[in-house]
Amino acid sequence: MSLMSFITPSLVNSAVQSITPILLAALAGTLCGRVGVFNMAMEGQLLVGAFAAVVGSYATGSALGGVLFAIVFTVLFSLILAYGATVFKGDSVVICIGMNLLAAGLTAYLLRQMFGVSGTFSDPGIVGLTKIRIDAINTIPWIGWIFSRQTAITWLAWILTAAVTIMMFRTPLGLRMRGVGEDASAAGTMGIDVTRYRVLTVLFAGGLTGLGGAQLSLGTVSIFSEDMSAGRGWIAVVAVMLGRNHPLWAALACVLFGVADALSVRLQSQGLPNQLTDIVPYVVTLLALALSHRKRLKRRATETITAHA
């Protein structure tokens, strides 16, 4: 079988879709990392966002309502990390573990209490996000499948990636944020309110991840199922590590995972058991992590993220 028939246009389209939540979560992770807050609660934040999006869409009857719910509730949920890791000086790793479990428990509990179902909630009342058709390019092979038929959130995710990169490295605000992360006491001496920067960044990052959650539940399927983030938040954590808190490199890592994800879908349609194809993205993630650290090791003996974590 030739490569071209193996990778179909619709496969590319679904790959781009599946990258979006991971990309938004990774973007959130880089922002937090830059101001010196280690965020590994994205798994839980995506879940809260996905759930709130379904609730909002079901209640208001519009996808926009769902997206707004997702953003608002994920920001509220992120208050725990925003204040816990800064003002209250808690261990961010422990806080994030707690948040991930709280998100899993809370969404499962509310799913049962609000909709009376366990497992998966699907209802015609949940309005999904519309795919934007760009008529000018819709019929062009490949290009049409990559750029057309995508949700607004996917577009926004890539625009935000560019915007965050420019903001981070080309504006005074970004300079201050990086200063807060690199040397908080020096930044404080320069008159920057370190705590305020950290709290606001974590909350903004929560909004981004909430948006990713909305894409997860309203982008392709319009359902919520328990634990539907299914490790995407953790993959985003790895993307942040691989990209070393640089949004563009993290985005590149996300594309790698998207390709791996699409590959697993494709392998499954070739008749391989889904238990095996499902693990492809994680194996690719682990390999990428191993390779990147091997290379890094050659340059410098011990630059440990764990010391930071």
Of the pair 201, 222, the CB lying nearest another protein is at: 201
To the nearest whole angstrom, how small is the minimum distance from the Cβ of residue 112 to another protein?
4
CB of 189 to another protein, least distance (A): 17
List Cβ neighbours of 165 (8 Å cut-off, separation of 6 or more).
246, 247, 248
Whole-number Cα distances in Å, 167 to 21, 43, 180, 195 = 21, 25, 15, 19
Is residue 7 close enough to count as binding another protein by CB under 8 A? no
- The site for another protein, by CB under 8 A, has a size of 53
Instruction: Say whether residue 189 binds another protein (CB under 8 A).
Output: no
* Among 10-18, 27-35, 211-219, 230-238, the segment contacting another protein (CB under 8 A): 230-238
Q: At a CB cut-off of 8 Å and minimum separation 6, what does 152 contact?
A: 129, 130, 132
> Are 211 and 71 within 8 A, CB to CB?
yes
Task: Decide whether 24 or 111 has the Cβ nearer to another protein.
Answer: 111
d(Cα 125, Cα 118) in Å, to the nearest integer?
18
88 binds another protein, rule: CB under 8 A: yes
* Pairwise CA distance, residues 206 & 25, whole Å: 8
Residues paired with 120 in a beta bridge: 225
Interface positions, 99-118, toward another protein (CB under 8 A): 99, 101-102, 104-106, 108-110, 112-114, 118
Minimum Å gap between C-beta 115 and another protein is 11
Interatomic CA distance for residues 39 and 47, integer angstroms: 15
Helix (H, G, I), strand (E, B) or coil at 278: coil
**Near another protein by CB under 8 A: residue from 3, 189, 290, 299:** 290
The interface region with another protein, picked from 4-12, 70-78, 212-220, 278-286 by CB under 8 A, is: 278-286
**Distant-in-sequence, close-in-space partners of 102: CB < 8 Å, separation ≥ 6:** 44, 80
Q: Which stretch binds another protein (CB under 8 A): 6-14, 16-24, 53-61, 80-88?
A: 80-88
Candidates 7, 59, 97, 152; binder of another protein (CB under 8 A) is 97
- CB-wise, 146 or 289, nearer to another protein? 289
Question: Is residue 286 part of the contact set for another protein (CB under 8 A)?
Answer: yes
CA torsion sign, 121 to 124 to 129 to 133? positive
Return d(Cα 174, Cα 166) in angstroms, integer: 8
- Give residues in contact with another protein (CB under 8 A): 40, 80, 83-84, 87-91, 93-95, 97-99, 101-102, 104-106, 108-110, 112-114, 118, 231, 234, 237-238, 241, 273, 275-276, 278-279, 282-283, 285-286, 289-290, 293-294, 296-297, 302-306, 309
